[in-house]
Amino acid sequence: MKNYRGVKQIIKGMPASDGDGVQLTRIIGTPYLDQLDPFLLLDAFGSDKPQDYIGGFPAHPHRGFETVTYMLDGKMRHKDSAGNDGVIEAGGVQWMTAGSGIIHSEMPEQEDGLLSGFQLWVNLPASHKMATPKYQEFSKEQIPTEIRDEYCSVTVIAGETSLSTKGVIVNEFVKPIYWDINLKKGGRLIDTIPSEHNAFIYVYEGSVSVEKNNDEKQNLQDSNLEEIRKGDLAILENGEKIRVIANSDSRFLLIAGRPLNEPIERAGPFVMNTKQEIQQAFNDYRLGRLVG
Ligand code: MN
């Protein structure tokens, strides 16, 4: 019975600059990987050089999807057109539903030291692209981390593990999984992912291998292992389960979501279903009507 997900494709990120000169690696939202339904963009940022991040992301609009910021190191202050204001600290997540429209800024709350983390864009279904904007925001202390054994811990931002640890984020449209996994050399993670979900792994420290063999035997053979190195995104094949082993002390994101299977029109900070809706978003922004 085929049920373990192997690696379908390995994608390398590309250097990019966004906001006011912030240096980052774009992994989804490039010519190599335009999108992985329902995920529209994945950026990794990480530098201890202030010139790489100090400009931040000054005021800019969004409409039609969700932006998810997960900080590993440093602090980022966000402010929006509705008067919301807060700081995302290391280990914290902000899951922002832009919906009908928001204008916000995301600026480093520090002048030196390490700033690192990820931004993921999650699409909204046509029925909810114009929903009222909202935030789901959690600090490191509020997000559960499941300690499986001396080799493996799983921080569960969204989704539910096979050991019944529930993530803090609610999203009934794509039922996302967003796990940050710490796997020490020789450790193994086995879990389930809903079979209809698109799923990927992004390794940001070390190296792991996905075990694509479909039987339940415990002894892994080299021929059945597909390596994913630091900086690589692996799109996973269809299946219900995943088995990952660490080749060295590793950290990686496991992210999955139910595809929306809807037409996508995107332009800069707007992601809608039709060209007309994109034009409307630009018009609304120009006329100061994007918000609300
Ligand atoms: Mn933004």
- How many domains is the chain partitioned into structurally? 1
Encoded tokens for 25: 């690696």
Q: How far apart are CA 262 and CA 123, in angstroms?
A: 10
- Closest listed residue to residue 245, CA positions, set 183, 199, 203: 183
Separation of 58 CA from ligand 1 center, angstroms? 9
The answer to the question of residue 227 being in a domain is yes
Residue pair 246/105 in contact by the 8 Å Cβ criterion: no
Decide if 267 is inside a domain: no
pTM of the model: 0.95
- Residue 284 resides in a domain: no
Ligand 1 centroid from CA 66, angstroms: 9
- Helices (H), ranges, 134-265: none
Three-state DSSP at 192 gives strand
Q: Is 250 helix (H, G, I), strand (E, B) or coil?
A: strand
Q: Report CA torsion sign: 159, 161, 162, 164.
A: negative
Residues ≥6 apart with Cβ < 8 Å to 100: 63, 129, 130, 131, 132, 133, 290, 291, 292
Residues 6+ apart with CB under 8 A from 113: 48, 73, 74
Residue 13: the pLDDT is: 93
Across the range 269-286, mean pLDDT stands at 97
Query: Does residue 272 fall inside a structural domain?
Result: no
Tell how far the Cα of 86 is from the centroid of ligand 1, in angstroms: 14
In a domain? residue 280: no
Structural domain range at position 174 = 7-257
Rounded Cα gap, residues 263 and 278, in angstroms: 13
| 277 falls within a domain | no
pLDDT in tens, 166-176: 999 999 999 99
Output the CA 100–ligand 1 centroid distance in Å: 14
Q: Say if 2 falls within a structural domain.
A: no
276 domain-assigned: no
CATH number at residue 68: 2.60.120.10
Q: What is the pLDDT of residues 157-197, one digit of tens each?
A: 999 999 999 999 999 999 999 999 999 999 999 999 999 99
Tokens representing 2?
């085929």
